Amino acid sequence: MPSPDQFAAAAHALAAGALVVFPTETVYGLGANASDDVALRRVFQTKGRPSDHPLIVHLATPADLDHWSASTPPSAVALAEAFWPGPLTLLVPRARHVLDTVTGGRPTVGLRVPSHPVAHAFLARFAEIVPHGGVAAPSANRFGAVSPTEAVHAKAELLPFLHDGDLIIDGGASTVGLESTIVDCSVNPPMILRHGAVTAEMLGVVTDLQDAAGPSRAPGMLASHYAPRCAVIAVADRSHADRVAVEAVGPVEVLDYGIDVDAMAHGLYASFRAADARGVQSLIVVLPPESGLGRAIRDRVTKASADRPVPN
């Protein structure tokens, strides 16, 4: 755990316009003061991301939900109460002060209170400097690449693009390992836009949902995304994997976590990176069942495998 001095330094750097890479329980984020238009523009440049893809605003406390939302839908209040702090992003009607750079001009803003102790300490320190302050942060990877689940991954992705004064906080490996669940609470009933560790089953206990089993719809969730350099081939079971492996060209590996979906979520992106580092050309991934956390994993693996030419 970084020291209080380090949190203070990072929070002051952020308030002064720097970018800060910080850990969360899902993945590492590339943070900017959500009320600083110049710093926000640097987030898009640093990632190489189109400027109309909205950013999630990270808050220290659920009490700040009302500061960032124009009118908080009852579903958002109930979901925040049940799952914050945690790996859940809520889309709510944006408050007037929320910048277009954050929302991509949309009428909603995505809000999340992370549970990671380092993220919390950093956000809380920042909110002492900027009252109700939020930290806008996409995943700390270059656009289209795999999200970082360790500080060293974020460094490898972004160090060449960071400036003097920007900081990277190392908080160890992200426990969940997949990006947050996104629920659009501006519609009634709410709709899941991206599956994650707060599963459809868990959400369904708190609120009605529409199209809970549908494909991801968040803008920026392109068909091909979260992709390593190697070709990802998704298969239903181990025997299928072994048959495909025999026919695959070049160095090939099979990724099979068995029934342990928590371990698979936690390790998936690191496995993608490790496969690339070993020069693997074809990574055959055995998919988990399509329920609970398995849905989020299948979503990411499918996107990693979409339309990827086998590299040579």
Binding site for Mg ion (CB under 5 A): 139
Q: Tokens in use for 216?
A: 């991801």
Q: Which residue is nearest to Mg ion (CB)?
A: 139
56 binds, among Mg ion, ligand TXA, none (CB under 5 to 8 A by kind): ligand TXA
Pure H helices in 4-116: 4-15, 37-47, 65-68, 74-83, 100-103
Tokens 């086998």 -> residue: 310
Shortest Å distance, C-beta 241 to ligand TXA = 28
Going residue by residue from 31 to 60, which x/- string records binding to ligand TXA, judged by CB under 6 A?
A: ----------------------xxxx----
Shortest Å distance, C-beta 137 to Mg ion = 10
Q: State which amino acid sits at residue 202.
A: M
Residue selected from 179, 231, 273, 286 as contacting ligand TXA according to rule CB under 6 A? 179
**What region, left, alpha or beta, does residue 113 occupy, with left being phi > 0 and alpha being psi -120 to 50 degrees?**
beta
Under rule CB under 6 A, residue 218 binds ligand TXA = yes
Q: Is 164 exposed, middle or buried (0-12, 13-18, 19+ CB in 10 A)?
A: exposed
What residues numbered 228-287 form the site for ligand TXA, per CB under 6 A? none
Residue selected from 21, 113, 182, 183 as contacting ligand TXA according to rule CB under 6 A? 182
Residue selected from 18, 21, 98, 137 as contacting ligand TXA according to rule CB under 6 A? 137
Tokens 């806008």 -> residue: 136
The helix (run of H) or strand (run of E) holding residue 109 is strand 108-112
CA 93 to chain centre: 21
Q: Which residues contact ligand TXA by CB under 6 A?
A: 24, 26-27, 29, 53-56, 89, 91, 103, 106, 108-110, 112, 137-139, 179-180, 182, 218-221
